[in-house]
Structure 1
Amino acid sequence: MNRIEFMTELAALLQDVPVEERREAMQYYNDYFDDAGDENEEQVISELGSPAKVAATIKADLGSQAGDYAEYSENGYTDSRFDQKEMPAGRAYQRKEEKEPPKTSRALKIVLIIAIILVGAPVLIPLGVGITLAVLGCVIALFCAFIALVVASVAVAIVGIVVFGVGIATLIPELAVGLALVGTGLILTVLGVIATVASVKLCLVVFPGICRGIVWICRRPFQGKAVA
């Protein structure tokens, strides 16, 4: 049985009670449930007993014996017998007051933010500039390294072509030397071409990724502020 069922049955059992007394009695028990709180609803019903028992008590109080126990005050219907263990209708249930978080002034927050910026600016600005320059230096150094790799690969291929040409020219007077030079030239040319193609592809893969990473890092703080 819940509160609604309890109060509905109690109201039905009090139909033969005068309207004013019935209204005050119903108001008393409604207030009693409200004071106890929703979390104590089952406990209140268990302590009060059945609606029939409560109705019988109210009717008895309204009879010739009511003067010893019951009265209707400005706070509603009260019965001294409800203070007893078997009918603790007068027992006080105190709701736990919700603690509201302390409200900080918006102006105070703004002042604190400005103070933090002013105090941290002499450190944060040079630090940010230093980190930016360091990242930029690393990117430039990496770019130069890749350019040097491409140039070296092309140079190997060119040397291989030159050696191959010299070997061809040396075949007539010195066959063995010419063949050695031709073979060496072919090997250098093939290695140079392979290294050139590989280094160019590596540049095309690595540098766009580095650029996207730098852009993502730069946009990250602003995205965080937008979400907040």
Structure 2
Amino acid sequence: MNRLEFMQELEALLSDISQSEKEEALQYYNDYLNDAGVENEEEVLESLGTPERLAKVIKEGLSDNASNGEFTETGYRDHYTQEEKQEVVKAGDKKSLSTGMIVLIIILCILASPLIISIATGVLGAGAGILIGIVGIFFGIAVTGFALFITAIVLVAVGIGSLFSIPLAGICLIGAGLLIGGLSLIFIWLTVWMCGTAIPWVIRTLADLIGKIFHGKGEKA
């Protein structure tokens, strides 16, 4: 069967569809054969099958897809294949899922905000308490060292004065003064160490901890 006979028979078999659809179908397959060229005409006709089969496929496609499809070399089909439809559905599901997850995260953040604030307040209170406690210890050690140093000076001075009247008592007072002076030097050293090392380290540690808490909270928000 040559091209003319194929197209005439196809036209006759499509006589029961609308005129516009029939003309569109015939125009499509004529153009398809023209694009293939005369040298490939026989091979293309074989790939299309018989006019009866092609007409049947075209009619079934038209009844299934109405105006939502197009003519192809295998008949009339929907614009979207089954796989493409599934991809569209999946994309819609992913979008809905993503929106739902965002809403859920926002709700969880709102519900958890009182707990986060309570924890942050507790940490701040504990940090402030620790800092105040360390500062109190610092001042206690400093005052104790200063008091011991003054006491040592007084004892040594009194002991020296007593050497001429009561030598034994004077020697004891001087010894006690020197002992207390040595103890005062230990307290003075602790005061200098806390002022230069311990207190700055505590302040830096608390600042870093508070910064991490509020930084993490900002990121979550």
CA contact (8 A) 2:134 2:199 kept: no
Larger radius of gyration: 2
Corresponding residue for 2:170? 178
- Pair 1:130 & 2:142 matched: no
- Pair 1:153 & 2:145 matched: yes
Question: Cα gap change, 1:227/1:123 in structure 2, threshold over 3 Å: closer, same or farther?
Answer: closer
SS at match of 1:114: helix
Deviation at 1:191, TM superposition (A): 2.4
* Aligned positions of 1:65-80 closer than 5 A: none
Of all paired residues, the percent bearing the same amino acid is 29
Amino acid aligned to 1:175: P
Deviation at 1:227, TM superposition (A): 11
Superimposed CA distance per residue, residues 160-189 of structure 1 (whole angstroms, 9 cap, x where no aligned partner): 111111101111111011011112112211
Question: Cα gap change, 1:72/1:111 in structure 2, threshold over 3 Å: closer, same or farther?
Answer: closer
Question: Cα gap change, 1:171/1:114 in structure 2, threshold over 3 Å: closer, same or farther?
Answer: same
Amino acid aligned to 1:117: C
Q: 2-side partners of 1:157 and 1:188: how far apart? A: 7
- Pair 1:213 & 2:202 matched: no
Amino acid aligned to 1:133: G
Aligned residue among 174, 179, 187 for 2:179: 187
SS at match of 1:183: helix
Q: 1-side partners of 2:185 and 2:135: how far apart? A: 20
Corresponding residue for 1:27? none
Q: 2-side partners of 1:190 and 1:130: how far apart? A: 42
Larger helix proportion, structure 1 or 2?
2
TM-score (norm 2): 0.52
Aligned pair count reads 147
Q: 1-side partners of 2:215 and 2:125: how far apart? A: 23
Corresponding residue for 1:35? none
